[in-house]
């Protein structure tokens, strides 16, 4: 069993034992590390899993809160559609290209230095997941990275929409397993570009960075999974 799975199980058991209730502020990272007997990096990965599932919410400056215990299990899965036959993936990518940049640009108005620091920590975890070819963590961390930005806005519907727009794990796995090292480096660099745009408070650059990420994944999906893209996405790719 991976260390993160073990820690996730311990944390879920604590919550199941009614140690904390919905609305409760969780202990600090340092305290949780002591309770669970783990490192901060492993803890952050576990918290990212629960955040992606919607069980916890990180409130900038206020800490981490237990939001819901619904569907809380120690099974390390990202709550994304599980189809890998391409059904709905093209429509999802099209919706993502049209909606995600607008939502993210608006949420970026509320990003502060504390959020930037948190995003930088997630980028470190993201790079490690890529190097380890841990595809499930790649998707999980990237999704929580985007949702963390959306939390600044405070609109839970918009945050949920961002999660629903992300590609399924089977599609990401198929694409990632076929990518060469340069493509993986480019994949990571495009996520970093989003962070750099946030640091500069440049909305135009941010919108461009987000669209570039999505277009890049569309290209890779078409190349490695034979996904048939919508006319809108095909036209965008041909223009790039």
CATH for 3-66 is: 1.10.10.10
**Domain locations in the chain as residue ranges:** 3-66, 89-239
- Spatial distance between the Cα atoms of 145 and 161, rounded to a whole number of angstroms: 14
Alpha-carbon distances of 140 from 61, 113, 137, 172, 238, rounded to whole Å: 23, 23, 5, 11, 30
- Token pair for 21: 């209730």
Q: What is the pLDDT of residues 135-164, one digit of tens each?
A: 888 888 888 889 889 988 888 888 888 888
Residue 64 DSSP one-character state: E
Distance CA(19)–CA(50), nearest Å, equals: 16
* CATH fold label, 89-239: 1.20.120
Mean pLDDT per 10-residue section of the chain, whose length is 240 residues:
74 76 84 89 82 73 75 47 56 95 95 90 88 85 88 85 88 93 95 95 95 96 93 90
Q: Is the pTM of this model over 0.85?
A: no
Place of tokens 């899965």: 77
Q: Is the dihedral of CA 79, 139, 190, 60 positive or negative?
A: positive
């Amino acid at each position: 069993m991976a260390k993160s799975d073990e820690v996730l199980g311990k944390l879920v058991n604590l919550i199941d034992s009614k140690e904390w209730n919905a609305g409760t502020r969780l202990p600090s990272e340092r305290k949780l590390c002591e309770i669970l007997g783990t490192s901060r990096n492993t803890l952050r990965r576990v918290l990212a899993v629960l955040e992606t599932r919607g069980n916890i919410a990180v409130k900038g400056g206020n800490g981490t809160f237990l939001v819901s215990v619904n569907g809380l299990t120690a099974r390390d899965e990202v709550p994304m559609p599980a189809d890998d036959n391409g059904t709905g993936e093209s429509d999802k990518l099209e919706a993502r290209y049209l909606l995600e940049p607008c939502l993210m640009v608006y949420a970026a108005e509320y990003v502060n230095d504390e959020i930037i620091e948190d995003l930088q920590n997630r980028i470190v975890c993201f790079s490690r997941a890529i190097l380890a070819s841990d595809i499930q963590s790649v998707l999980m961390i990237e999704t929580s990275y985007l949702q963390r930005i959306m939390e600044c806005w405070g609109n839970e519907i918009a945050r949920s929409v961002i999660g629903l727009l992300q590609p399924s794990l089977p599609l990401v796995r198929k694409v990632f397993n076929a990518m060469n090292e340069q493509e993986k480096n480019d994949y990571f660099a495009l996520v970093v570009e989003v962070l750099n745009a946030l640091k500069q408070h440049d909305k135009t650059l941010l919108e461009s960075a987000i669209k570039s990420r999505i277009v890049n994944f569309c290209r890779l999906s078409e190349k490695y999974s034979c996904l048939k893209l919508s006319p809108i996405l095909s036209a965008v790719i041909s223009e790039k």
